[in-house]
Amino acid sequence: MKIAFFDTKNYDKPHFDIAAAAHGFEPVYYDTKLNVNTAELAKGCDAVCVFVNDDVSAPVIDKLCVYGVKLVALRCAGYNNVDVKYAYKKIHVVHVPAYSPYAVAEHAMALLLTSIRRIHKAYNRTRDFNFSLSGLAGFDLHGKTVGVVGTGRIGRVFIDICRGFGMKVIAYDKFPAEGSGIDYVSKEELFENSDIISFHCPLTDESFHMLNAETIGTLRKGVVIINTSRGALIDSEALLDGIKSRRIGAACLDVYEEESDIFFNDYSGHIINDDTLARLISMPNVIVTSHQAFLTEEALANIAETTANNIEEFFKNEICDNELCYQCGNIEHCKKSKAKKCF
């Protein structure tokens, strides 16, 4: 089998080379992202492997089908960049539902600690031999209320970490985890009563701009916002206004809603055309990392192995447990009642 890998980085290849050799397929790596103009690169391939900022919209799906591609293998958990509804009965889609929830949850906590204890500022000062503590006062996490939006694998690991710090945890999820012992509240209650809010939910039509000008107005003054999930959960302009009005005390962002043409690339020495991102980065109480939360050796190895398993399982058995399917309405947990491919 021949698999076209799009938006490939140097840290992807070693793990996928190992997985490809073990599972018997030939990887073809492309630096470019998948879109309607680059889909032709997949001609002659059995499948494409894509990441978070590749475009798998209807026009791209049509082109892939013309070129004989039978499978889209996401090497990530999220699938908001895939038109799953349009793909039904045209091309199969699989994803990696869990690669290392610890990687993302730990990064979220690292961002929070860096922000509230001013670690990044102290680091820059001491490199200039400035050992003043002026302006570096933070606050204790112990006793603070953290609101966790989304209690899947990553959200629950983050909750465990927060409990280890002695924090009070409240959570919101459309589908609460039964028997988890998590204190679930409404979304409105969470926004109103949290000192810190961390997002760990998928991006859907319902969750798009969940944090917006209206909801920001209900937040506690000085709240810290963390987002390691998907950028468009937050209205960036509203976030900027919330920071400027002092409603939001700090923001820790590993994702950004217009990141697709910016993140994962080196633009040092260039002028960034995105004024909102430039203004956010210029704020002293904003930390931005470029979709880095997943990036651990353990996660990369798990992503490669699970992706390779998905590809092999699909082509050998005509069915894959990690298939995303629109047929039964439960996209991530397709029932596959007939024990075969959904179409």
* Ordered per-residue pLDDT tens for the chain, 343 residues: 999 999 999 999 999 999 999 999 999 999 999 999 999 999 999 999 999 999 999 999 999 999 999 999 999 988 999 999 999 999 999 999 888 899 999 999 999 999 999 999 999 999 999 999 999 999 999 999 999 999 999 999 999 999 999 999 999 999 999 899 999 999 999 999 999 999 999 999 999 999 999 999 999 999 999 999 999 999 999 999 999 999 999 999 999 999 988 998 899 989 999 999 999 999 999 999 999 999 999 999 999 999 999 999 999 988 888 998 776 655 666 555 545 566 7
- Both tokens of 34, joined, read 């998948």
> Does 127 qualify as catalytic in the annotation?
no
> Does 259 qualify as catalytic in the annotation?
yes
pTM for this model (two decimals)? 0.89
- Both tokens of 143, joined, read 């006793």
Handedness of CA 48, 49, 53, 58 (dihedral sign): positive
Q: Which of 220, 230, 305, 323 is catalytic?
A: 230
Please say whether the beta carbons of 30 and 38 come within 8 A.
yes
Please say whether the beta carbons of 219 and 245 come within 8 A.
no
Fold topology of 2-99+297-333? Rossmann fold (3.40.50)
Helices (H) and strands (E) in the chain, counts: 11, 12
- Both tokens of 18, joined, read 């190992």
CATH class of 101-288: alpha beta
> Does 230 qualify as catalytic in the annotation?
yes
Largest Cα–Cα separation, the chain: 68
Question: How many residues comprise the chain?
Answer: 343
Q: Which of 23, 153, 220, 291 is catalytic?
A: 291
Please say whether the beta carbons of 42 and 67 come within 8 A.
yes
Domain range annotation of the chain: 2-99+297-333, 101-288
Q: Which of 15, 75, 200, 259 is catalytic?
A: 259
Handedness of CA 332, 336, 341, 342 (dihedral sign): negative
2-99+297-333 and 101-288 share one fold: yes
Name the burial class of residue 236, with classes exposed (0-12), middle (13-18) and buried (19+) by CB atoms within 10 angstroms of its CB. Answer: buried
